[in-house]
Amino acid sequence: MPAGKTSLYYLFVLLLLLPGTGSTVMAAERWSTKLDGKVRFYQSTELGVLIVGTEKSLYAVDGETGDVMWRRKNVKLDETDVAPVPGTDIVLLNLESGSKTRVEALDVMTGSPLWRSDKVRGAVMQMALDQNANLLAVVLVRDARGKAKQGFKRKPVIHVFDITNGEELWKRELESEVEMMPARWNDNDEVPYTLDNYRPPVFLDNRLYVFYEGLTSLDAHTGRDRERDKFRVNEEGLALTEADPVADERNVYTSGRGKVRAISRLDGDEVWSAKDLGSVPEMILTREVLYARTGGQFARLEDGETIERGPYGISAIDLEKGKVLWRYKGADKGITNVVMPDAGTLVVADRDDLMVIDARTGKRRTKISHQVEKAAFVLLNERGEAVVGGKNEIAAFDLVSGRNTWRSRHNPPGRGLLRTVAAISARAAALYFRYGSAASSAFRGVQLLNTLNGLRTGLTLHEALPSLTTLAANKASEYARNRAGEYARERISTFGILARARELSGSRPRVAVPQPAIDARSADVEDRLLDKLDPAHQLERLSRFLLRTRRLAALRGEWMYFYTDLGRGNGLAGVNVNTGATERSIRMSAPDSRFLSDELFQLLFVSQDNRMLAYALNGQD
């Protein structure tokens, strides 16, 4: 390709650094897809389909090939108007026409509407899916736009649908307004607001638990209260200062108001409460003990900056009576997330030291000076080493000897674009926490009982919260919930054409596009790829997407990314968390902080004007 054209719009050049040789291999772009207008947003889905919005249309693009799967024309949507339903082949759209609004469920493979509801108002903020009962809980908020600031409040409404046909079973409006979080921080423009400063709802035992005004347990089929406990969920002006709930066979364990409570799964009564703990943003549940991290680093709603808030420590709580067995208060200079390399050991870091704690007694076994500037997270690599990371450095330590086995530092480029650099750095770290093996090894040897069922999500664009500590803790919690049974992404509930493909996977008939339950002509769906394929290639294409869901379950990412000066321009440096080697380098001459990656496809996705582009993460054509 001529150099002149490259400088116009092919802004990403990817290099694979070969450890030990010093040589590099140039990687060409995998695909480039031209759309009908400037790209306003793009999102990933579990099936590997990119949902892309332009100024004129909504597209579905095959992430592996760049093929346009369908185009929904004559719609101009914000990113908060589009929400893939986790664990399914459905995408929800919030559509407005004058004073009328509706939510429409689309087949992600074809763009065909499966059902719609004219009874709802507002943008989709969070969702929860009970795959066994086919219940979909959707949280919507109206008029959630404004200048990025603290104190923006709206009143969410919860709707529960039968996901098979869109029948609304019940809805519930919160009693009061709650503070929301900007989708991004911009000094000039209006931005969408989200509920990402709250834990999403979750289904358990035919109940729906919601966390916006404290804790409320609702009958999943009727919406009736069984339990309510109102309290301020987060510390004022901060996001996610309370933990995701965890559960075993008997109880659900929640934090709030400075205490941890055990709530009976049988009758909803409080079994015990452990008080005077402080804010508890992370809990780890084992067979006999609940470990609660207190204090940490949190995103400030006002400007997105990371703020430290104490008191810092770890508490061990007996599961029978809620007695606090011990409290560790040695992390007096901030605290990261907690990991467990085995049933008898906890590992945590503060601003200066990495600490190995006896999980039975709370006594510190080892203190190691990590010398990582602004340490934000701890993870365990495949070698069993503790890896301490911050925004510009990552270092590994042997937990027995305390030896620093390797260290890799990548300073951010100049100070001209501080906010952009921070956004890109957070997104880059999120690439690892989305696919990385930190969570898979963080609980090695520990039998966890986190049985919260159902799939949950906020909006996918907000996976890169500024707090790396939150990212690490959330990923560990997600893994813990799914470890005891089938991994969530392996089980995809299909309602569109993929359902028919599953039925016909043993034969070779034509996979006819199913007729939607509503009039599809009003949807303005064009350029549908499956209509252009012969019967054999239809089934082959759809089978590839079904195979992806099984391959995701075994996926393990190994690279932590840093935004840095690569010598001939700025970009991402990918450090292997098992070896410390910088094995990947992705030049980003024009930063796009929205970029996405897919470790299964080994691709990085970016936009440039009216194009979507993909580059090979492995550096090979």
Q: Which domains does the chain have, with CATH numbers?
A: 7-34+558-621 (no CATH), 119-491 (2.130.10)
**Contacting residues for 76 by C-beta, under 8 A, at least 6 apart:** 40, 53, 55, 56
The DSSP output letter for 143 is S
What beta strand segments (E) does 429-511 contain? 455-457
In the sheet that holds 324-328, the strands lie side by side as 282-285, 289-299, 306-318, 324-328
CA gap 566, 572 in Å, rounded: 8
Q: Which parts of 467-534 fold into alpha helices (H)?
A: 468-483, 497-503
Which residue has 């709530």 as its token pair? 263
pLDDT score of 276: 87
Q: What is the Cα–Cα distance from 395 to 405, expressed in whole angstroms?
A: 8
**Looking at residue 332, what is its pLDDT?**
77
SS3 253: strand
The residues, any chain, with a CB within 8 Å of residue 68's CB and separated by 6 or more, are: 33, 35, 59, 60, 61, 62, 527, 529
Q: What is the pLDDT of residue 405?
A: 97
Name residues whose C-beta falls within 8 Å of residue 182's C-beta, 6 or more positions apart in sequence.
Answer: 148, 149, 152, 191, 192, 193, 194, 301, 304
Contacts with 152 (C-beta within 8 Å, 6 or more apart), sequence order: 146, 179, 180, 182, 193
Q: For residue 111, give Cα distances in angstroms to 118, 166, 252.
A: 19, 16, 39
What distance in Å separates the CA atoms of residue 78 and residue 94, rounded to the nearest whole number? Answer: 9
Which strands sit side by side in the sheet containing 12-17, from one edge to the other? 24-27, 12-17, 582-588, 570-576, 559-565
pLDDT recorded at residue 583: 87
The SS3 of residue 426 is: helix
Q: Is the peptide bond before 311 cis (omega within 30 degrees of 0)?
A: yes
pLDDT at 478: 57
Question: Can you give the length of the chain in residues?
Answer: 621
Q: Compute the distance between CA of residue 234 and CA of residue 213 in angstroms, rounded to an integer.
A: 10
**Cα–Cα distance, 103 to 139 (Å, whole number):** 12
In angstroms, what CA-CA distances link 108 with 128, 136, 491, 501?
18, 17, 16, 14
Query: What are the beta bridge partners of residue 140?
Result: 124, 157
Q: What is the pLDDT of residue 461?
A: 44
Structure tokens, 45: 């889905």
The answer to whether residues 84 and 488 touch, using CB atoms and an 8 Å cutoff, is no
* Rounded distance between C-alpha atoms, residue 142 and residue 150, angstroms: 18
Cβ–Cβ < 8 Å for 232, 179: no
Pairing status of strand 259-264 against strand 251-256: antiparallel
Kindly give the parts of the chain with pLDDT less than 70: 1-28, 97-99, 187, 227, 231, 414-420, 434-467, 474-491, 504-523, 535-536, 549-556, 588-591, 618-621
Task: State pTM to two decimals.
Answer: 0.84
CA atoms within 13 A on the CB side of 385: 23
Helix (H, G, I), strand (E, B) or coil at 194: strand
**Rounded distance between C-alpha atoms, residue 600 and residue 6, angstroms:** 27
> What is the structure's pLDDT at 429?
76
CA angle 525-527-531, nearest 5°?
95
Give burial (CB, 10 Å; 0-12/13-18/19+) of 403.
exposed
- For the beta carbon of residue 432, count every other beta carbon within 10 angstroms: 28
281 neighbors 473 (Cβ within 8 angstroms): yes
| Contacts of the segment 498-505: beta carbons below 8 A, 24+ positions apart | 498/47, 498/89, 498/109, 498/542, 498/545, 498/546, 499/89, 501/539, 501/542, 501/543, 501/546, 502/546, 504/539, 505/539, 505/543, 505/546
